[in-house]
Amino acid sequence: MKTLIFILAVALSTSYLTAQEVTLKKGMKNVEIIKGTYYKTDSAFLDKYQGVWTYSGNNIVFKFKIFRKKTSVQEIYIDRLKAQYCIGKECDIEKVNTFILSSAEKDNIETLEKGTLRFRFYDNEYKKFGVLEFKLLQENKASWKLLERGGYKDESFRKGFSVPNEML
């Protein structure tokens, strides 16, 4: 009898948990927002961005990693694309200080379809913020370009960034 009750409890809790995940797909309208629900972005839109993008030149290696992160926002959960980078002669993207972590400014389905994302990031070496544009050119090929120099403070005394201004 105890076994039967345990199995029923597990079955009910599993169905309860799975009922709280909604996959958002292109064209969905008027999605009911329910507290505690995970509104997951369709993987078809995120997979093309995710991974480690690498550039090497001028005796340095620059790695930029984009990944999906389930994020709590106003009592619901959504997918956000996060990024981190490392730069140097040798850099291990998996051991990067999480302080560098940034989110895509807009990562809704319409923006993801266009193939261009913008990330706000912090340059640890130059101690200032910047905005970069990450653009998919074709499968497994992308470009990066700095769009904004500086940040909230007047940082014009220190020109440029420690990261490459552009990369392919």
The Cα–Cα gap between 117 and 129 comes to 17
Q: Is residue 1 part of a domain?
A: no
Q: Is residue 66 part of a domain?
A: yes
3-state secondary structure of 60: strand
The Cα–Cα gap between 62 and 39 comes to 33
The Cα–Cα gap between 146 and 152 comes to 16
Is residue 112 within 8 Å of residue 79, measured between CB atoms?
no
Alpha helices in 43-149 (DSSP H): 43-46, 109-114
Residue 82 token pair: 């996060």
Q: Is residue 4 part of a domain?
A: no
**Residue 92 is part of which domain span?**
21-167
Q: Is residue 12 part of a domain?
A: no
Q: Is residue 31 part of a domain?
A: yes
Strands 76-88, 38-41: pairing kind: parallel
pLDDT tens per residue, range 14-50: 545 544 999 999 988 888 999 999 999 999 999 999 9
Structural domains of the chain, count: 1
pLDDT tens per residue, range 115-167: 999 988 887 777 778 888 899 998 889 998 887 655 555 555 556 777 777 77
